[in-house]
């Protein structure tokens, strides 16, 4: 009985840890890629000042597109 409870708790803990890991990975993948006329490209990752300005605006665009 105790073994099965421990196993269930272990599985649940593993699932929670996995979900947290995936969520964290998804959050770190947030970025902004800017392409210029001369062929240059600027990639701003989450945490940089430029991305901090652009990400909320992009979320607003997505919210506007999905709102019903």
Partner 1 sequence: MDAQQALADLTEISSQIEAAVVFDDQGKVAGSTLSEGGRADELAKAAAALLAAAEGVRTGESVLTQLEVSTGEGSVFVVRDGKTSIAATTGGNPTAGLVFYDLKSALRSVKPAAKTAPAKKKTTTAAKKSTAASAKKKTAARKPTTRKKPDAS
Q: Which residues bind partner 1 (CB under 8 A)?
A: 26-27, 29-38, 40, 42, 44, 50, 53-55, 57-67
Cβ-based neighbour number of residue 24 at 10 Å? 10
Q: Which residue lies nearer to partner 1 by CB, 4 or 64?
A: 64
Q: Which residue lies nearer to partner 1 by CB, 5 or 41?
A: 41
φ, ψ for residue 31, nearest 5 deg: -160, 165
Q: Is the dihedral of CA 58, 62, 64, 67 positive or negative?
A: negative
Q: Which residue lies nearer to partner 1 by CB, 19 or 58?
A: 58
């Amino acid at each position: 009985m105790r073994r099965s409870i421990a196993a269930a708790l272990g599985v649940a803990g593993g699932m929670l840890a996995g979900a947290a890991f995936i969520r964290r990975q998804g959050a770190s993948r947030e970025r902004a890629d800017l392409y210029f006329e001369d062929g240059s490209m600027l990639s701003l990752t989450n945490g940089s000042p430029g991305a901090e300005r652009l990400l909320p605006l992009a979320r607003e665009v997505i919210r506007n597109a999905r709102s019903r």
